[in-house]
A and B are shown apart, each in its own frame.
Chain A
Amino acid sequence: MYCVLIGHTSTPIVKPKAEFCWKGTLVRISHTLISTPDHLSTIYTRPPLRRYYGKLTVGKPSFLYVYRCYYGYVYVIFPVRTPRAGARKLKYLLQHDQMGRFAQEGMGRVRWLGGFFTATLPPKPPRPPKLRIRKGMPPDLPESIKKLLTLAILHDLVHCNRHQSKLMSEVQIQDEELRRLAKSHHALTMNPLLLTLQKYDRIAARITRKHWSPIKTRYSWRANKKVDVQHLVRQIEAHQDNILTLYKIIKASKELDLLNESLEYGHSSLRQHLLIIANLIVTDWLKERLTLSSAGITVETP
């Protein structure tokens, strides 16, 4: 049997994660309030609200003494082996009203609301599998997928209506159709190839753009040297017909990692963005979620 003690934070709890151990129990902070064991799994679905305790400055990386803190409803979960031991534990926990760091400065104050007993705990919702970046492309790719992959890798390296080339110098694409598609990859279109690319572009951007941190140059925060862009452009232009070599060049390039994919997100990486798009496409094709038809490429929507 398990006991679940529920509280509400008056001031945020300073902890690096919303789930942690405290006094021999498991604590989960959530945004939802439940009153019965039936809805216990919902505490994992809505994460708590987050704040930062410490000085934050716009446009600069955060200081080391900025701490993450969470507020919401607190669920303290512990096993009850015997009634006497459970009662003793509950009595011990209810004597506390603060948890986390900086309790001496008023942080982590908790108001206890109630709780319940449950025979079993629901399993945690499974995490989606991690995307693995491949060392190379599979050799037996069909032509249409190769075309899509080439377009995916080169789409941000040309000038388009939304932005200039993210490499700061435009890559000259020899294939006429690919060049036209790459230049209009932000336009409204009905082209299935471009629609597929736009979908994967959005997914990859969502994965790489994590922390909003505007920057005025294409160089990221961790760039400590100037990138030889012209050399990179020449290298890409020379191997644009062979997707296998092109992918290897992009993967091996440390200089491409110093450039930003977005000016709004100073910690994003252009290389990572391109690799993620390529890997998403290949993974979907291997798992047969990307299908080839006479009309072009179609993507199954779950």
Chain B
Amino acid sequence: MGKEDVQCIKKIKKVVSVVAWTPIAKPLNGTLPRSKNSTMLRLAPVEYTYKHGKEVKSGRVETYLIKGLRGALRHSAMSLLREAGLEVCHSSDKEATQEGKALIPEGFHPLGACEKDPCILNRIFGWMRHQSRIAVYADPIGCPKHKTFAADVPLQPVQIATENRVALTFDHEAIQDFGERYFSGEFRFHIDVSALEPEELGLVIQSAMTLHRLGRGFNAGYGHIKIQQLTLEQVTTERRLQWDGNGSFRVEETESREPLHQEVLDALQAFQLYLNAQTGES
């Protein structure tokens, strides 16, 4: 095996890192078996170490995935473009229900109707036959009991608990005595924008800045998001192989981040020019 051939693998990508804060959000996945509680998508438990006086002890925490970030970003972009007067794809590809109720609001066309000349939203987020050109992801969230925790895997500490609710109706049926898992606190998510053109990047940045809701229950006061920080970075990931004597190897990963301030301004300007050109403004 040519060990010298695979010493270092470098991967460069452009990422928008967003720091957001929520008082309470419920990006739920579904109901657990034998339970009335709706919960977020549970991931593998993470083991961590913490300091207890002079001792170092170990603990374990359940982790969850924040679902629906890409959908929230898409809806933010949709409302942004609608306010600017551009007709873009809606999230539904059906115009009306079987009963004749219209599904597409004014200012949108059905998803994928612009297949020959794709709109900017279609180009970024894709649809049934076209893959999205951005990837939105966040590190797992967890609620470790100990403040001095240190884990080998990335983990975002937030408050996670269950809200107990009673006597609600849904779809004209009473739902009583159920619980919903929520999280609260500051969290960070990333948008991989390596494949985007400048005006598309501008739209993604503006949409992320205007992102204000996530998960269910917005009208009841849940899922309000406040964006605190947004950075465009060039992330260089280096994976180095450390060879042992017996033919096995370990992968050591290092990551370096370099902010791209000027590119943000250029992207926003390109997006503004694109909007002007589309709406016919000078």
Contacts and interface: CB of A to CB of B under 8 A. Distances in A.
Contact of A58 (B29, B35, B126, B131): B35
A36 B131 CA distance: 38
B69 A55 contact: no
B248 A80 contact: no
Interface stretch (A86-94, A191-199, A227-235): A86-94
Nearest to A118: B247
Contact of B134 (A9, A56, A104): A104
Interface residues of A, number: 45
B140 A54 contact: no
B132 A51 contact: no
Contacts of B135: 98, 103-106
A11 B31 contact: no
Nearest to A53: B41
Given A54-B29, A58-B34, A104-B126, 4 more contacts: A52-B30, A104-B132, A114-B249, A116-B249
A95 interface: yes
Contacts of A91: 5-6, 9
A87 B65 contact: no
Contact of A105 (B30, B34, B69): B69
A11 B43 contact: yes
A5 to B, nearest CB: 8
A148 to B, nearest CB: 35
A95 B11 contact: yes
Given A11-B65, A109-B137, A71 B43 contact: yes
Contacts of B154: 10
Contacts, number: 117
A53 B247 contact: no
Nearest to A103: B135
Interface in A1-40: 8-12, 35-36
Given A113-B250, A114-B250, A11 B70 contact: no
Interface residues of B, number: 45
B1 interface: yes
A87 B1 contact: yes
A132 B82 CA distance: 61
Nearest to A98: B135
A83 interface: yes
Nearest to B139: A10
B53 interface: no
Nearest to A35: B248
Contacts of A10: 43, 139-140, 153-154
B29 A55 contact: yes
A80 B136 CA distance: 34
Contacts of A113: 250-251
A103 B135 CA distance: 7
